[in-house]
Amino acid sequence: MKIRDIYNVMNELAPFDGACGWDNCGLMCGDRDSDVPRALVTLDADMYALESAVRNHCKVVISHHPLIFDALKTVDADTPVYRYIRKNIAVISSHTCLDAADGGINDLLAQIAGIREPEKLMLDGAALGRYGEVSAENALEYIDTLKNRFHSDRADYILSRPVRCAAVVCGSGGSALEALRDCGCDTLITGEAKHEHFVYAENHNLNLLTFGHFETENIIVEPLCRRLREMLPEIEFIPGGRTEFIKRR
């Protein structure tokens, strides 16, 4: 099997042209015609993932966050791009296209949040969220339940009213608060938000619950591995193995 086979399957699962215009998805580096017996699936194409790929003899890393996001002016020995190329390890990144895709991160997030019959929440011209009714008679118990499901050791929140209809946006989704009223939601569940977003939630009688950027997106690694194994059984797909990123105490 070739790297192009993985590229084509990822494009089928989460079409790259479904990404936001400001995003960078697809093949970040590498040769599409290289053989690939083993691949690493991870949230970040960072040095941690590179070391894991080398250790597990993987020829390609499939990441959510792009290896190359902002324009590069130099590629010296200290940059991850240089080191991936030097180790001859390709990187395929599916960022907002995987957020928006059917069966992608936000569908999984909606399932974890207990949203019934989720509908797509359009942001930046893409389906970057989901929303629908939830059963959360006790909001604090609901927050604790989500903490456990996300394997998060923290929850920052503003509770202004009962939780009845929630929207989910993985990662950094605080700016989605302004879209909540249009879909009749009272609650936004996301990974992280700025202080100004918490102020906005309180001022507009909305709920804002955050559980960590890593925690609300790393949930896709194992399910994506399973789907790739089903579609490309000739290749061994290995989860990145990282269960936490930012340390807290």
pLDDT digits (tens, 9 = 90+) for 93-108: 999 999 999 999 999 9
Q: Is residue 248 pLDDT above 80, yes or no?
A: no
Average pLDDT value for residue range 130-152: 95
pTM of the model: 0.94
Token duo for residue 22: 């400001």
Q: Is residue 245 pLDDT above 90, yes or no?
A: no
> Dihedral of CA 139/141/146/147: which sign?
positive
Looking at residue 72, its pLDDT comes to 87
Token duo for residue 224: 């994506």
Average pLDDT value for residue range 239-247: 87
Nearest to 49 by CA among 92, 104, 20: 92
Q: Is residue 164 pLDDT above 80, yes or no?
A: yes
- At position 191, the amino acid (one-letter code) is G
Looking at residue 249, its pLDDT comes to 72
Mean pLDDT of all residues belonging to the chain:
95
Average pLDDT value for residue range 117-136: 95
pLDDT digits (tens, 9 = 90+) for 188-239: 999 999 999 999 999 999 999 999 999 999 999 999 999 999 999 999 999 9
Q: Residue by residue, what is the 3-state secondary structure of the chain?
A: CEHHHHHHHHHHHCCHHHCCCCCCCEEEECCCCCECCEEEEEEECCHHHHHHHHHCCCCEEEEEECCCCCCCCCCCCCCHHHHHHHCCCEEEECCHHHHHCCCCHHHHHHHHCCCEEEEEEEECCEEEEEEEEEEECCHHHHHHHHHHHHCCCCCEEECCCCEEEEEEEEEECHHHHHHCHHHCCCEEEEEECCHHHHHHHHHCCCEEEECCHHHHHHHHHHHHHHHHHHHCCCCEEEECCCCCCCCCC
Nearest to 89 by CA among 36, 145, 11, 132: 36
Provide the pLDDT confidence category of residue 242 given band limits of 50, 70 and 90: confident
Provide the pLDDT confidence category of residue 161 given band limits of 50, 70 and 90: very high
Provide the pLDDT confidence category of residue 247 given band limits of 50, 70 and 90: confident
CA 136 to chain centre: 25
